[in-house]
Amino acid sequence: MATDSNYGRRDFLKDSVLSVAKAAQEYSKHAEAAPEKPAPLLRTDWLRPPGAVEESLFLDRCTKCSDCAKACPHGSIIFHQQDGTPVIFPDRTPCYLCEDFPCIAACATEALLPVGDREQVHMGTAVVAHRICTAAQGCHACASKCPMEALSMDFDTQQLTVAPERCVGCGICEQVCKTVNDHIAIRVTPLRLMAETG
């Protein structure tokens, strides 16, 4: 009788182990078959820091040393999540066009070249989405904060206008719009994207 009882326990333990192993195997199959979460979309609306040379030359010269980012007193320059090169997302932290451009001074490889003054900076150009812009309702926050006086209100059309010859693409308008409105109605088109479409 004792032998049968011992055999029963062994049999039960063996079945239990097999059952757990089978369950783990089934779970593994389902986990592998489950669709993977899509990778987060990479943003393409980033700007290069002021003084950046043409894009292909920039990629040749930039060593991803991070000196420009360390020199930026506002923390505007961060790194592209794909290739580690320096970028600016103006809706987060725009370029504040420092008088002495410490980011340019910190670049030892001439990926960023000196500019005479902020009028010579060209990171992109602001574009207004008039459909969602609230300028006609009295919001002129972006225009009042533009350091280049590139934005103004056309009272005939009740629309905000951008003077492209004055706009340097710093993105201050974009960040201000994000702060005061539900939707960002003004965005900077990066210089490299303008070159692709132009």
pLDDT in tens, 141-154: 999 999 999 999 99
Q: What does the pLDDT read at residue 3?
A: 47
Q: What pLDDT is attached to residue 42?
A: 81
- Phi–psi pair at 21, nearest 5 degrees: -65, -40
Q: How confident is the model over 95-121, as a mean pLDDT?
A: 97
Q: How confident is the model at residue 7 (pLDDT cuts 50, 70, 90)?
A: low
Q: How many CB atoms lie within 10 A of CB 75?
A: 10
Rounded CA separation 181/151 (Å): 17
150 token code pair: 């590139």
Mean pLDDT computed over every residue of the chain: 87
pLDDT of 1 above 60? no
CA distances from 104 to 13, 36, 53, 54 (A): 71, 42, 11, 15
The yes-or-no verdict on residue 70 having pLDDT over 50 is: yes
Instruction: Please tell me which residue, 138 or 39, carries the higher pLDDT value.
Output: 138
What stretches of the chain adopt beta strand conformation (E)? 77-79, 86-88, 124-128, 151-154, 159-162, 186-190
pLDDT of residue 194: 82
Greater model confidence, 19 or 95: 95
Question: Has residue 16 got a pLDDT over 80?
Answer: no
Q: CA neighbours within 13 Å on the CB side: how many for 31?
A: 6
CB atoms within 10 A of CB 173: 31
pLDDT exceeds 50 at position 2: no
Percent of the residues in the chain that have a pLDDT greater than 70, as a whole number: 78
Structure confidence at residue 21 (pLDDT): 62
* Chain-centre distance for alpha carbon 136: 29
> Domain 55-197 carries which CATH code?
3.30.70.20
Interatomic CA distance for residues 16 and 8, integer angstroms: 12
Whether the pLDDT of residue 13 is over 90: the answer is no
Q: What pLDDT, in 10s, does the model give residues 160-191?
A: 999 999 999 999 999 999 999 989 999 999 99
Residues sharing a CB contact under 8 Å with residue 23, sequence separation 6 or more, in sequence order:
none
36-50, 71-85, 103-117: which range is least confident on average? 36-50
Q: What is the pLDDT of residue 43?
A: 86
Output the pLDDT for position 85. Answer: 97
pTM of the model as a whole: 0.76
